[in-house]
Every structure is written in structure tokens, then in C-alpha cells.
């Protein structure tokens, strides 16, 4: 009876330890999700991107031959699309439209096979007379013998297809010394209990902005595009915290 109670106490202690560890790992995230049960996902407020935590101004190298040109007394400026004013984005705080049309497909097949067989044998018949000291049960002609075999067979296949087509407005947050523009765009769409968000950042060359004040994503340098979401649908597609925890610590 005492042994059974001791075993139950040990099991209870182990369970409590795992629960405490899981709670510590989830932390405020789990508490926040529990608080929002039954509520629609909250949308973030509009704010200055340069004031966001972790924001760092972009520093890029400037060509040595880059020299600003000014046409004093001229009503027409180089690159202008309108006679009196260029309506394209070019200053901090200006807006421009970014068109994202990604259609990516990749099919990869890899197969590796490797076979190796090693065999080593050493015979000793005359070892400075020491062979006479060996017990009679040991034959000097078969002192050393070794063999080994190694085989590898690996296969891998990737079949991926991704397609994203959307447009969003981005904000110019910085003008680099070269004249290129650092842009940040974010878009959130809430449908019922699911929020889909699209974020894009990068560097745009003013000459790539067309007459409609738009630019395609493939002309954005250092582009970072993120498309995802959160809500009930996303939660159903994610493994539970316990499953994720055991997947991390399991050695098998």
C-alpha cells in the first residue's frame, strides 16, 4: 500500500511539474488567449512605424559619384511626371501603392545511394620469437581480422506551389542619401473570427514608381513580405502546446 501511494505521489509530482513548465512556456500569451475567448480578434491601432519597438533606421552605402543636381530657375525637374508637380511618393510621410503578385512553384527530387565494404586481415607468423609465448589455443596466423560495411540510402521530394496576389498602400519612412525610399506597409483584414495581415518593407528606387504612384514588389530591394493571420481558424491548424512541447524535447 505504501509503495502504491509513493508511486502515485511521484506521478502527481511529475504531472504538476509538466503543467507548471507548460504554463511558464506559454506565459502571457496563453493568459491573453484565455482572456479573449468568445471575443473577436483585436486589430492593432494605426501608429507611426518609426516609433514601433525595435525599429532601426536603414543605413545603406552611397555611390561616390552620387551628386545632387539642382536646376535653379527651372519649372521642370528631372524625372517629374507632371509639369508643375510630381505626384509620386518621394518624401517621408508620402504614400505609394505596392502590387504583390507572387506565383512560386518548385518541384525537387533528390536520391542518394552509397555502399562501402571494408575488410582487413593481419597474419603474424614470426614476431621476434614472441609467438612461442602465446597460449596454444591462439593461432599466430589469425591474430588480427576486421571487416566493416556501410550503406546509405536517402530520398527527398519537395513539391511546393504558392500564389499571392494583392495590393496595399505603403508609407515612406525614410529617404536614403542616394535618394532611394524606405517603405513600410501593413494591411489587416478581419473576417468573422479570423484576422489576415499582410506586411511589406523594403527599399524603392524613385524611378521605378510609375505615373500612377505604384510599384511592383519585384522592384523592391531588401523586400520582406509577410502574409499570415491569427484567429480561430489558425488555432485549429496549430498543434496543441503539449504536442509542441513533447516534439521539442523528444529525442526520437
Would you say residue 20 has pLDDT above 70? no
Mean pLDDT of 64-72: 54
Would you say residue 138 has pLDDT above 70? no
Nearest Cα neighbor of 169 from 233, 212, 126, 119 is 212
Cell digits of residue 215: 510599384
Q: Encode pLDDT of 188-207 as tens digits.
A: 888 888 888 899 999 999 99
Q: How confident is the model at residue 171 (pLDDT cuts 50, 70, 90)?
A: very high
Would you say residue 213 has pLDDT above 90? yes
Amino acid 67: pLDDT: 46
Would you say residue 63 has pLDDT above 50? yes
Q: Which residue has the higher pLDDT, 137 or 233?
A: 233
Cell digits of residue 243: 504536442
Task: Order across the sheet with 95-122: list the strands.
Answer: 214-216, 95-122, 144-175, 181-191, 194-204, 220-231
Amino acid 47: pLDDT: 81
Q: pTM score, two decimals? A: 0.58
Mean pLDDT of 47-69: 74
H-helix or E-strand containing 243? Answer: helix 241-249
Average confidence score pLDDT of the chain: 75
DSSP state letters, 7-62: HHHHHHHHHHHHHHHHHHHHHHHHHHHHHTTTSPPPPPPP--GGGSTT--------
Mean pLDDT of 83-88: 70
Amino acid 206: pLDDT: 93
For residues 74 and 193, give the distance between their C-alpha atoms in angstroms, rounded to a whole number: 56
H-helix or E-strand containing 234? Answer: helix 232-237
> C-alpha distances in angstroms, 34 versus 29, 49, 84, 201, 230?
9, 29, 57, 32, 15
Q: Encode pLDDT of 95-108 as tens digits.
A: 999 998 888 778 88
Amino acid at each position: 500500500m505504501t509503495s502504491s501511494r509513493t508511486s502515485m505521489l511521484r506521478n502527481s509530482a511529475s504531472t504538476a511539474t509538466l503543467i507548471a513548465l507548460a504554463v511558464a512556456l506559454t506565459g502571457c500569451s496563453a493568459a491573453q488567449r484565455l482572456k479573449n475567448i468568445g471575443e473577436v480578434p483585436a486589430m492593432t491601432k494605426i501608429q507611426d512605424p518609426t516609433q514601433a519597438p525595435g525599429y532601426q533606421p536603414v543605413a545603406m552605402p552611397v555611390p561616390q559619384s552620387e551628386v545632387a543636381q539642382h536646376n535653379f530657375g527651372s519649372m521642370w525637374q528631372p524625372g517629374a511626371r507632371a509639369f508643375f508637380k510630381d505626384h509620386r511618393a518621394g518624401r517621408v510621410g508620402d504614400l505609394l501603392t505596392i502590387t504583390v503578385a507572387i506565383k512560386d512553384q518548385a518541384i525537387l527530387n533528390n536520391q542518394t545511394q552509397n555502399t562501402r565494404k571494408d575488410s582487413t586481415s593481419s597474419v603474424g607468423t614470426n614476431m621476434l620469437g614472441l609467438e612461442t609465448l602465446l597460449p596454444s589455443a591462439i593461432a599466430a596466423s589469425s591474430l588480427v581480422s576486421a571487416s566493416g560495411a556501410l550503406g546509405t540510402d536517402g530520398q527527398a521530394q519537395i513539391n511546393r506551389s504558392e500564389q499571392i496576389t494583392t495590393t496595399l498602400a505603403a508609407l515612406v519612412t525614410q529617404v536614403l542619401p542616394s535618394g532611394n525610399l524606405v517603405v513600410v506597409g501593413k494591411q489587416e483584414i478581419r473576417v468573422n473570427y479570423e484576422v489576415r495581415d499582410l506586411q511589406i518593407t523594403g527599399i524603392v528606387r524613385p524611378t521605378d514608381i510609375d505615373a500612377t504612384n505604384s510599384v511592383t514588389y519585384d522592384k523592391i530591394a531588401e523586400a520582406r513580405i509577410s502574409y499570415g493571420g491569427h484567429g480561430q481558424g489558425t488555432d485549429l491548424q496549430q498543434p496543441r502546446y503539449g504536442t509542441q512541447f513533447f516534439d521539442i524535447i523528444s529525442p526520437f
